[in-house]
Chain A
Amino acid sequence: MNLSRPDNERTSKDAQYLQAATHDRIYPPGDLAIWVFILAELLVFAVFFSAYALTRANNAELFNTCQLTLDANAAFINTLALISSSYFVMRAVAAIREAKTQQCIQWLIAALAMGCVFLIIKSGEYVHHYQAGINLRTNLFYMFYLSLTFFHFMHVIMGMVILTAVTIKTRQGHYSAAEHTGVETGASYWHMVDIIWLILFPLVYIMR
């Protein structure tokens, strides 16, 4: 948080240019506001995960039985998709830091494509459950499974909207080696979406 007093005339943007020029990066990368948002999001998921853990402790047998009906292979492919998309986003940030706009756009599109893979596979799982007559009211396990994964699903969509906006702005030439806070901001959010899945996947699909 910039708590500088009013007499400090240097704006935060000037400071960013200066720091970029001296290769001394600002941490955390991206806009501070997105980090506040990320922390809030992590808190929401943390509460959800805790509720899951507590309920599972009291219904271990039900959770273990129902867990076997989930498609862990599909989830594993999705895990690979998200991890590689995070890698692509990281490469996009590295590219824009070296002023390679075209490469940055290509990496972002690759990341978006991986996001699409995730959405398609996850939708396939939902269709399967729907056809089996499973819904939020089936039992506590499915309530948590559907709620958690769907909430995350919405975050993937949100992340893709952000990455699309960043891609468009990159194409329009809004970012440079000196000023690319927007790319870092989008990347930070996307990494969060990825990290949550990395907890969600073992928690719901694997751990017994």
Chain B
Amino acid sequence: MQYQSQAVAKPYFIAAIGLFVGQILFGLIMGLQYVIGDFLFPEIPFNVARMVHTNLLIVWILFGFMGAAYYLVPEESECELYSPKLALLMFWVFLIAGALTILGYLLVPYATLAEMTGNSLLPTMGREFLEQPTITKIGIVIVALAFLFNLGMTMLKGRKTVITLVLFIGLVGLAVFFLFSFFNPDNLVRDKLYWWFVVHLWVEGVWELILGAILAFVLIKTTGVDREVIEKWLYVIIALALITGIIGTGHHFFWIGLPGYWQWWGSIFSALEPLPFFMMTVFAFNMVNQRRRNHPNQAAVLWALGTSVMAFLGAGVWGFMHTLAPVNYYTHGTQITAAHGHMAFYGAYAMIVLTIISYAMPMLRGRKAANSGKSQILEMWSFWLMTVSMVFITLFLTAAGVLQVYTQRYTDNPQPFMAVQERLELFYWMREAAGVVFLIGLIIYIISFFAGSNEPEQA
């Protein structure tokens, strides 16, 4: 660790991993509820489990992004963080607000939670993924503002690099687009439009900048390739990500009530969204091929390469599969979407956070560059267990989705929703089994932090 203030990243990373565990546990509960409908009812109904599963995902990824930024910006700017105290204060604000929100979801009915938190004063609740009480949303905005202020001041006093610039633009975009969650117009079309501005322009727009910046940082550090070369690729990748991602959001617009030309614009541009992801894969492998040194932290290199491949498959290939309007006409909101969502979120955003944690944690815990060989081997096992089981979750959900689309929508004699769900049971069981393997991988991942901690570093 080159700068003392980088240490503030550590609690963020620990919280991220803790919430990740929670997300997976609720995922498993939900997975079981798909086949045993009244499992844990009425304590944890399906809708609550789903809300907790998706909200925890977003929150732990945000913790990861913030930790990444606090680690990376001082090192890139070559100066201490503007205010480590503010960063720590915001950590606790965000963690407590997040925990209270999740407890709120679990302990009181959603309508009561809305009432308790004064939702009627500024109604923002009740929309998928944006279920947080208004007061939590305001808290998120305050945390984001303080976070951006802290980073911005650090960047201003230090060296300016392409990586910090791209990261900062991504994070500003993240904060700005979140503001659309406060718009809640009566007009349903506009309501949905703003909802997509948050949901879609995050994951297929500005988050890609954050992903690209973190990946570029880890690659510079682990391969020793010239900064100039890596930055150039970063420019090209983010330019394409923004062009295809922002206009590609249009693939949702026609279905929610916008004019017909969005069918064309959305289909064409979103069909090209795999391009930046493909370039990211080429970029990552090419940089590792051109490496000037063999970094001792091979686990981090594995995560970085894995991110590029899985992001391309999950976001790129599985996204393309159902983005064209004639296909989406049948597949919208089926298990095909769930398959894409799982692999894309894991491949692009969960894995990039795990990449930076893998790279930074040894230094944050007082090592020079890497964990012991034993710890790294365990970490690599967890990489393969989680990644392969996620591939299987995706394949089972895809199979379920194809069957669902056919029997419920495509065939001449469409079956009712619940009748179709029963026929998908086998796939849901297999998905649940793959989910258990994922949890085992995650447990091994956590064990890897403690195993071999007294042993010397990998050379």
Contacts and interface: CB of A to CB of B under 8 A. Distances in A.
Contacts of A65: none
A40 B286 contact: no
Nearest to B262: A136
Interface stretch (B48-56, B59-67, B203-211, B288-296): B288-296
A113 interface: no
Contacts of B261: 136-137, 143, 147
B221 to A, nearest CB: 15
Interface in A25-65: 31, 33-34, 36-37, 40, 43-44, 47-48, 51
B235 A4 contact: no
B396 to A, nearest CB: 31
A37 B264 contact: no
B272 A3 contact: no
B259 A136 contact: yes
Interface string A1-42: 111111000011000000000000000000101101100100
B236 A147 contact: no
A43 B275 contact: yes
B366 interface: no
A31 B264 contact: no
Contact of B226 (A5, A11, A40, A137): A11
B231 to A, nearest CB: 10
Contact of B290 (A6, A137, A143, A144): A6
A37 B236 contact: yes
Interface residues of A, number: 24
Contact of B236 (A12, A36, A51): A36
Contacts of B289: 3
Interface in B185-217: none
B20 to A, nearest CB: 34
A3 B268 contact: no
A47 B243 CA distance: 15
A4 B290 CA distance: 6
A29 to B, nearest CB: 16
B235 A40 contact: no
Contacts of A36: 236, 279
Main secondary structure, interface of B, reads: helix
B240 interface: yes
Contacts of B272: 40, 43-44, 47
Nearest to A55: B264
Contacts of A43: 272, 275
Contacts of B286: 1, 3
Contact of B239 (A5, A6, A37, A48): A37
B233 interface: yes
Interface in B229-260: 229, 232-233, 235-236, 239-240, 243-244, 259-260
B381 interface: no
A58 B267 CA distance: 19
Interface centre among A2, A44, A47 (most CB of B within 10 A): A44
Contact of A47 (B236, B239, B268, B293): B268
B114 interface: no
A44 B233 contact: no
B315 interface: no
B300 interface: no
A33 B233 contact: yes
A147 B291 CA distance: 43
Nearest to A138: B261
B271 interface: yes
B241 to A, nearest CB: 11
Interface in A95-145: 136-137, 143-144
A147 B264 contact: yes
A6 B264 contact: no
B265 interface: yes
A136 B258 CA distance: 12
B422 to A, nearest CB: 40
Given A48-B268, A144-B264, 6 more contacts: A44-B243, A44-B268, A47-B271, A136-B259, A147-B261, A147-B265
Interface of B: 224, 226, 229, 232-233, 235-236, 239-240, 243-244, 259-261, 264-265, 267-269, 271-272, 275, 279, 286, 289-293
Nearest 3 pairs of A and B residues by beta carbon: A6-B292, A136-B261, A33-B232
11 contacts: A1-B286, A4-B290, A6-B291, A33-B232, A37-B236, A37-B239, A37-B240, A47-B268, A137-B261, A147-B261, A147-B264
